[in-house]
Amino acid sequence: MLNKTQIKVRGYHLDLFQHVNNARYLEFIEEGRWAFFDEFFERDDWMQEDFVWPVVNININFKSEANFGDLLEVQTHYTKIGNRSITMKQTIVKLPDNDIVVEADVTYVCFSKAAKSAIPFPDDIRQKVEQSIASLE
């Protein structure tokens, strides 16, 4: 599954150099992840479960700048699942030409609030993630 979320660059996204500030891209990819989860999970009850999804690593490569008024698209999909961790690829492109602005790999873990530690993914979620990865290959 590939989720596509559009964001229009606003004035408050800009820095002194009049292009999108690097910290804003973290917010953009986070918005992309939440939109992905809205589509991936059928209901919001996954937020009520014992487990949560803390981000443990983000690797981000800035390829080109975005400016006021640009229409960006955050493309989000799973790329790898381990026993307790999962990695997403997120790419921000500038529309309509699909010029790559940012590429990021985001890793997070399945974390038990009760146990206060990372736990293996529940089987139903693991299967759904594996199907999502396979659908893009």
Catalytic residue (choose from 15, 38, 50, 99): 15
Report pLDDT for 51. 80
DSSP state of 120: P
Is residue 119 a part of any domain in this protein?
Answer: yes
Among candidate residues 131, 80, 133, 130, the one with its CA nearest the CA of residue 107: 80
Which tens digit of pLDDT belongs to each residue from 7-31?
999 999 999 999 999 999 999 999 9
Is residue 83 a part of any domain in this protein?
Answer: yes
Is residue 135 a part of any domain in this protein?
Answer: no
Total number of domains constituting the chain: 1
Residue 106's pLDDT band, with cuts at 50, 70 and 90, is very high
CATH of the domain at 102: 3.10.129.10
**Cis, peptide link before residue 96, omega less than 30° from 0:** yes
Name the phi and psi angles at 42, rounded to 5.
-75, -25
Residue spans of alpha helices (H) in 1-137: 22-40, 123-136
Report pLDDT for 48. 64
Is residue 43 a part of any domain in this protein?
Answer: yes
Do residues 103 and 58 lie in contact, with contact meaning Cβ atoms separated by under 8 Å? Answer: no
Active-site residue flag, 45: no
Which tens digit of pLDDT belongs to each residue from 57-69?
999 999 999 999 9
Long-range contacts from 127-135, C-beta under 8 angstroms, 24+ separation: 128/40, 129/78, 129/81, 129/86, 130/81, 132/1, 132/40, 132/77, 132/78, 133/77, 133/78, 133/79, 133/80, 133/81, 135/1
Is residue 102 a part of any domain in this protein?
Answer: yes
Residue 111, judged by CB atoms within 10 A of its CB (0-12, 13-18, 19+), counts as middle
In terms of residue numbers, what domain contains 68? Answer: 3-128
Among candidate residues 110, 127, 108, the one with its CA nearest the CA of residue 118: 110
